């Protein structure tokens, strides 16, 4: 009885810590290798209504669910766009049009048709697998999930269930996709965003899972992709986690950056 009481006494604080972490604001210091090969160390911020995180090309995105506002920070161009979620559809189209023009990435109707055929083929082969592999990242137990879409995309995610936070992928999806000029690459990123959710913890190991039931925060990941024009890899891993109130400065635009208003665009 004494041993059992001691065991319970040890377990209860652990569960209390997990519950506290799940409710608290979270700052995750991550080390990134971007799709172009550059590396950087940067903080991401998570609350019950806000998120600020890094995209595969090094841009950052901020979303505030209370005010329904989105910000996209272009570090390479030292500029940002910020505005209401209601404008996201039109602004995303304009961002994408400008970036495609800048990258000379316009494609012919024949090439677009080929892209659509490839994308439709890979979507038919999408799987989200909950594996048996586990490891600790920044002190938190994580489980490996793998998304695959034929030979064009593999996305590995190490998920910490103890750090469950709201998922705002659907709210920011169009703005994120607008940052990718390659049309097939944009389609593959859409699969990644839509498959941030996977089977519940009770699902069988190694089985395909529905894409709407994940619980937890990604503390490491890797995306390998191949499109008609290029192939590459983006990866990141948390090297430190802090809980506690996030300072207001975390949600502000970088000092010295200019406000960016993408020019109006006609159909691509």
Q: Is residue 94 situated within a structural domain? A: yes
Average pLDDT over residues 225-254: 89
Q: Is residue 265 situated within a structural domain? A: no
Q: Is residue 129 situated within a structural domain? A: yes
Q: Is residue 102 situated within a structural domain? A: yes
The residue ranking higher by pLDDT, 203 or 89, is: 89
Angle made by CA atoms 189, 163, 247, in degrees to the nearest 5: 90
Per-residue model confidence as pLDDT tens digits over 225-237: 877 667 788 899 9
CATH number of the domain that residue 202 is part of = 2.50.20.10
Q: Which residues constitute the domain of residue 24?
A: 2-259
Long-range contacts formed by 237-240: CB under 8 A, 24+ apart: 237/30, 237/31, 237/137, 237/158, 238/28, 238/29, 238/30, 238/137, 238/138, 239/29, 239/30, 239/31, 239/41, 239/138, 240/28, 240/29, 240/138
- 220 pLDDT higher than 50: yes
Q: Is residue 140 situated within a structural domain? A: yes
What is the number of structural domains in the chain? 1
Per-residue model confidence as pLDDT tens digits over 66-79: 999 999 898 988 98
* pTM listed for this prediction: 0.74
Per-residue model confidence as pLDDT tens digits over 108-146: 666 566 556 655 656 667 788 889 999 999 999 999 999
């Amino acid at each position: 009885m004494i041993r059992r009481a001691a065991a319970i006494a040890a377990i209860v604080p652990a569960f209390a810590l997990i519950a506290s972490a799940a409710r608290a604001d979270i700052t995750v210091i991550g080390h990134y290798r971007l799709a172009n090969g550059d590396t950087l160390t940067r903080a991401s911020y998570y609350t019950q209504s806000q998120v600020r995180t890094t995209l595969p090309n090094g841009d950052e995105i901020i979303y505030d669910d209370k005010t329904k506002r989105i910000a996209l920070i272009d570090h390479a161009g030292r500029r940002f766009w910020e505005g209401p979620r209601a404008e996201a559809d039109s602004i995303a189209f304009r961002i994408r049009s400008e970036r495609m023009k800048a990258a000379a990435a316009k494609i012919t109707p024949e090439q677009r048709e080929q892209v659509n055929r490839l994308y439709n083929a890979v979507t038919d082969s999408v799987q989200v697998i909950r594996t048996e592999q586990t490891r600790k990242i920044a002190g938190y137990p994580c489980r490996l999930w793998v998304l695959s879409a034929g030979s064009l995309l593999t996305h590995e995610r190490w998920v910490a269930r103890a750090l469950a936070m709201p998922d705002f992928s659907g709210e920011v999806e169009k703005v994120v996709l607008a940052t990718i000029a390659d049309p097939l690459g944009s389609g593959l990123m859409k699969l990644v965003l839509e498959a941030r959710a996977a089977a519940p913890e009770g699902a069988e190991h190694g089985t395909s899972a529905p894409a709407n039931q994940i619980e937890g925060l990604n503390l490491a990941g890797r995306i390998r992709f191949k499109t008609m024009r290029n192939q590459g890899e983006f990866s990141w891993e948390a090297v430190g986690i802090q809980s506690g109130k996030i300072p207001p400065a975390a949600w502000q635009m970088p000092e010295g950056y200019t406000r960016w208003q993408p020019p109006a665009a006609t159909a691509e």
